[in-house]
Structures are given as structure tokens and as C-alpha cells.
Amino acid sequence: MDKLIIEGGVSLKGEVTVSGAKNAVLPILAATLLTDDACIIKGVPQLRDTATMIKILRSLGKNAELENGAVTVSMQRNTNYVADYKLVSTMRASFCVLGPLLGKLKRAKVSLPGGCVIGVRPVDLHLKGIKALGTDITIESGYVLAKANKLKGSNIYLGGVYGSSVLATDNVMMAAVLAEGLTVIESAACEPEVVDLAEFLIKMGAKIKGHGTPIIEIEGVKHLHGATHTVIPDRIEAGTLMLAALITRGDILLKNVSYRHLGALVDKLEESGASMTKTDNSIHMRYKKQMHAVNITTLPYPGFPTDMQAQMMALMSVTPGISVITEKIYPDRFMHVAELNRMGAHIQREGPHAIVEGIKGLSGAPVMASDLRASACLVLAGLAAKGKTSISRIYHLERGYENIEEKLEVLGAKVWREREKE
Ligand code: EPZ
């Protein structure tokens, strides 16, 4: 296992291009199961998670290759309908092969993903939506067995205790595109990644309206054909790099970014005194003056993204004032608090809140990454800290940030990898 070493205290400066969105590309790759034709997906980031999804597609009978940022998916043999525990357990997003397998083959056997370090993460909403389309569902030996003679469009309310669900909306949408008649999803997730999936499905011949709003209408069609699609830029990678500019008092020009997908983050940063220049596909983030603490509450899109909560906590830990950070999507997503405190931060967790008292500066320390965004938070903290930070279990970072070390190095960061002693 590798650890990442950061010698902090360098102001990051320069230009960087944001990669394609991990959370858009994973369901889009799954959607290629809906057709026997070839599909080409461009702007695919080279990540551990995209490699896992490619493996899953292969295990389900597809040919899939990632070359120069594009994945070509084509038919190899009759599609298998079993998504194995070994693959699904390594990445929760694999569960979104359920909808397309069911849509195309009318049967699917998909391993239940289980919980993970950021919370329990049930799949009740996925199953509720899929059932409503006329599917028989049983759970056996850790697998969801789904079977339907035919799928029938239906009215489905998909709101849960924590609001809408991104992957449940994706799953139901992918099953409904080949169902008979009209499906209406109410309380659908509005995330840009859901919109991108819908746009890809439309290119394949699906009839979808209302994506990007809480009510999505899907008129089933008989079959879908191949399509070519370029995924949207990764708003969470972009947001993380914006914070890297601020926390190191630097100056970074981000290219291939849609600031419209980052409204809540931009608003909070402006409220805390940051200034930036935006164009349609770039953001120039420059640290100009002392910022002050702001409160954050995570919410489904267009609210403040839970996937930026940990990184924002790193910034607030060195921003004067008190910041109350409330996590409303995953109330236990606070594994980074103890690690930031090891670096000298003053953060107290109280249930779904973290109270952050901004201090003058962090000091480098050995810390441990617990999940993807917690790793990004520790990288930001390490970049700002005085001295050396070593982050172990850095494989989490590889799940969601393409070439992150290279990108940071180009911006001037002193960052390198070392083999972890077993
Ligand atoms: C997606 O996960 C993202 N993953 C997550 O990204 C992200 O944190 C999350 O959406 C919220 O924005 C992908 O897109 C691959 P949800 P997803 O279903 O769809 C509850 C990252 O770091 N819920 O929108 O699995 C759930 O427990 C990650 O890139 C149910 O109760 O999340 C949570 O509280 C990690 N029942 C809330 O809904 C269900 O059936 C929202 O989760 C499903 C979800």
C-alpha cells in the first residue's frame, strides 16, 4: 500500500484541466447494457472506480476498453444477468447495473452492496422503484433477484428520509426507458450527473422529459441503439481544486469546469470573502484577502454537496471564526474530523454537526484516509500545513481523482508517494 507525502506551505499556482465526472460516467457505462449496439463514452477519467465498472461490464458479457479517455463498449456474447458480490462489494455504484439489466433482459441478479464507512446506505428506494415497474423482487443469499414478464410504466415517489437518491433515480430511469407506457418519477434527484445520464439515454433513443427537476417523465420505447457521449466535467474535483487555491493562498485557473454545477459552493465561498472569475467553462480562483468562517449544511442538489463537506471542513479549520457544518445526507460522514484534529484543528463533532473553530495554521502529521472525500480533505489540509503530512490508505483517493498528484505537482505542490511499511 502507498502513502502520500505532502510537504505543506506552498501557494499553488497555475492552470489545471478538470477530468470527466466519476459519478456521471459510472451509471452511463452501466446504461450501455441497455443495447447490443456499440457505444462510445468520451472524457472518461482513469480511476479505480471506472476500472471496476469496466470489469463489471466485461463480467456481464460486454467488450469494454478504456483508451485515450474513451471507453468503447460493444457486445461480446449474450449478456449475463448476474453481477457478482466480489465486484459489487468493492464499489457501491455497481448496484446501478440492476436497472439496465432488468430493462434489457427482464431479469437480474445483483449483489447487495452493503454499508460503507460514510454510513449505512440502504437500497430500499432502488427496490421500491424497480418493484413499481412490475418486477418481482426477492433477496436471497445477499443478492437481489429481480424478474419481470414485462416492465410497465408507473407513478413512483422516490423521496426518502434524506431526500432524493441519485443512484435510485438512475436505476429506475434505466429500467423505465424500456418499460411499456409512461413512468413518472416524483422526488427525483436533480444532480447534474442524473441529467447527464438522461442525456445519454436520449441519444440512445429514450424518451425522457423533466430531468434536472424533481419530476422526470419517461415514455418507454421498444429498443435503444448505440450512441456516443462526452461526460460532464467533475464538479467535485473542480470544487476540491478551488479549495486548494484558497487554502494555500494560491492562484489557480481551472479549465473544463461548469460553474453552474457549483452554485452552492461558489455562493458559500463568496459569502466567506473569496473572489473568483467565472466563464462558461473556466473558473479562476485567486486568494486575495483574509476569509471568514461560514456555516454549511449539505443537501441534495442544488444544495451544498455532501461530497464537498470534508474538503470545506479543511478550509474552515484554518479560516478565522466559528463554522457549523451540518451533514444532512450522511449524518455519520465525519471520519475526517479526528484526522484534522491530529493536525492541530479545533473541531468538535455533535451528532450531525461539526463545530469548527478556525485556527492560524495546521501542522503536518501522519494521518489516515478513510474514504474518498476524507482523503481529499486531508490532502488539502496537508497542502496548507506546516511541515510534512503523510496520508496512509491513499488508494481511496485513486477511486475519484484522476492523476491528482501530477495535477498538484504542476501547480507547484511538493507531493510524492512512498511505500507504506506493512
Ligand atoms: C451518490 O451516491 C454518489 N455516488 C455519492 O458520491 C454521493 O455522496 C451521493 O450520491 C449523494 O450526493 C455516485 O453517484 C456513484 P444517494 P448514492 O442515494 O446515489 C439515502 C463520492 O464520494 N438512501 O443519493 O448512493 C442514503 O443513505 C460519493 O463520490 C436511502 O435511504 O447516494 C443517503 O442518506 C460517495 N435509500 C441519501 O439517501 C436508498 O435506497 C442520498 O443517497 C438510497 C439512498
2-19+233-419 and 22-230 share one fold: yes
CA of 166 relative to ligand 1 center, distance in Å: 6
Categorize the per-residue pLDDT at 119 as very low, low, confident or very high, splitting at 50, 70 and 90: confident
Taking CA atoms, 285 is separated from 68, 278, 403, in Å, by 29, 9, 20
Burial class for 86, CB neighbours closer than 10 Å (0-12, 13-18, 19+): exposed
> Residue ranges per domain, the chain?
2-19+233-419, 22-230
Q: What is the mean pLDDT of residues 110-133?
A: 88
Beta carbon of 126 within 6 Å of any ligand 1 atom:
yes
Beta carbon of 331 within 6 Å of any ligand 1 atom:
no
Query: Which numbered atom of ligand 1 lies nearest the CA of 191?
Result: 12
| Among 41-55, 81-95, 145-159, 264-278, the least confident range | 81-95
Q: Which DSSP string corresponds to 142-207?
A: TEEEEE-SS-B--EEE--BTTB--HHHHHHHHHHHTTSBSEEEEES----HHHHHHHHHHHHTT-E
Beta carbon of 127 within 6 Å of any ligand 1 atom:
no
pTM: 0.97
22-230: in CATH 3.65.10.10: yes
Which tens digits make up the pLDDT trace of 352-377? 999 999 999 999 999 999 999 999 99
Which tens digits make up the pLDDT trace of 185-225? 999 999 999 999 999 999 999 999 999 999 999 999 999 99
User: Looking at residue 118, what is its pLDDT?
Assistant: 79
**Catalytic-role residue among 39, 96, 116, 377:** 116
Residue 284 has pLDDT above 90, yes or no: yes
Beta carbon of 168 within 6 Å of any ligand 1 atom:
yes
Strand ranges of the sheet holding 388-392, from the earlier edge strand across to the other edge: 366-368, 388-392, 2-7, 414-419
Question: Mutation test of ligand 1: which of 94, 139, 167, 240 has the most ligand atoms closer than 8 Å to its C-beta?
Answer: 167
**Residues 148, 135 contacting (CB under 8 angstroms):** yes
User: Looking at residue 77, what is its pLDDT?
Assistant: 74
Q: Go through 43-77 and write b for each residue having 16 or more CB atoms within 10 A of its CB, e for each that does not.
A: bbbebbbbebbbbbbbbbebebebeebebbbbeee
Strand pairing class (346-350; 366-368): unpaired
CATH superfamily of 2-19+233-419: Enolpyruvate transferase domain (3.65.10.10)
CA of 118 relative to ligand 1 center, distance in Å: 10
Which tens digits make up the pLDDT trace of 21-71? 999 999 999 999 999 999 999 999 999 999 999 999 999 999 999 999 999
Beta carbon of 372 within 6 Å of any ligand 1 atom:
yes
- 288: its cell numbers: 486575495
Please report, as a single letter, which amino acid is at residue 5.
I
Percentage with pLDDT > 70 across the chain:
99
Q: Which DSSP string corresponds to 96-118?
A: GGHHHHHHHHSEEEEE----BTT
CA of 104 relative to ligand 1 center, distance in Å: 24
Q: What is the mean pLDDT of residues 113-136?
A: 89
Residue 384: how many other CB atoms lie within 10 Å: 27
Query: Which numbered atom of ligand 1 lies nearest the CA of 329?
Result: 34
Report which of 11, 91, 117, 44 is spatially closest to residue 373, judged by C-alpha positions: 117
Question: Is position 96 annotated as part of the catalytic site?
Answer: no
Categorize the per-residue pLDDT at 120 as very low, low, confident or very high, splitting at 50, 70 and 90: confident
**How much is the mean pLDDT over the chain?**
96
Beta carbon of 333 within 6 Å of any ligand 1 atom:
no
